[in-house]
Amino acid sequence: MTNDSNTKPDGMTRLESILYPIFGRPTGLLGRLGGRMMAGGKTDTIERVVELLSIRPTDHVLEVGFGPGDGIQIASTVASEGFVAGVDYSRPMVEMAHDRNAAAIETGSVELQYGAAADLPYGDDRFDRAFSINSMQLWPDACAGLEEMRRVLKPGEQLRSRLLRMLTNRVTNW
């Protein structure tokens, strides 16, 4: 069961705290606006992460922190005979990504759920690939989220993350 308390990471600056409900974990009207602003804005990054993952057509893929749903869209095009699941801790983002991936959700090839990285609603060894873009730095316990992503991945399979520090523009890949 996802616990809605203690959702912010520690050590945010004042400005990051202001931006958090708009872009970090979008909530309310401003969060919807933030989602609109993020939509379509990171296609190059997402394509690069998907390329690094070497997703096969039949793979089952998980994205954590999908925001407006661009990564889900791109991954589901590559995993054309597989399955793409997404978990995000923002109800407005789940709604927006749902609308933007409605056709694939209708056919059952995409599934989006509200939830936290630290408590993924999937069983062990469920996925072939997992990724997260510009989200992990926002998790209150990144280690717990990573451990969850490892748990739901089949043994020996791939996990990738790309982090763009909110305001410093510093990028980390691994």
Q: Which is nearer to ligand SAM, 85 or 117 (CB)?
A: 117
Q: Which member of 60, 66, 84, 160 binds ligand SAM (CB under 6 A)?
A: 66
Instruction: Note whether 76 binds ligand SAM by CB under 6 A.
Output: no
Among 49, 50, 93, 153, binds ligand SAM (CB under 6 A): 93
Strands ordered across the beta sheet of 127-133: 110-114, 83-88, 60-64, 127-133, 153-164, 171-173
25 touches ligand SAM by CB under 6 A: yes
CA–CA distance, 84 with 100 (Å, rounded to integer): 14
Using the minimum distance from each CB to ligand SAM, give the nearer residue, 88 or 155: 88
Under the criterion CB under 6 A, does residue 75 sit at the interface with ligand SAM? Answer: no
Cα–Cα distance between 128 and 126 in angstroms, integer? 7
SS3 content of the chain, % helix, strand, coil (to 5): 45, 20, 35
User: Is the CB of 23 or the CB of 83 nearer to ligand SAM?
Assistant: 23
CA distance from start to end of the chain: 29
116 binds ligand SAM, rule: CB under 6 A: yes
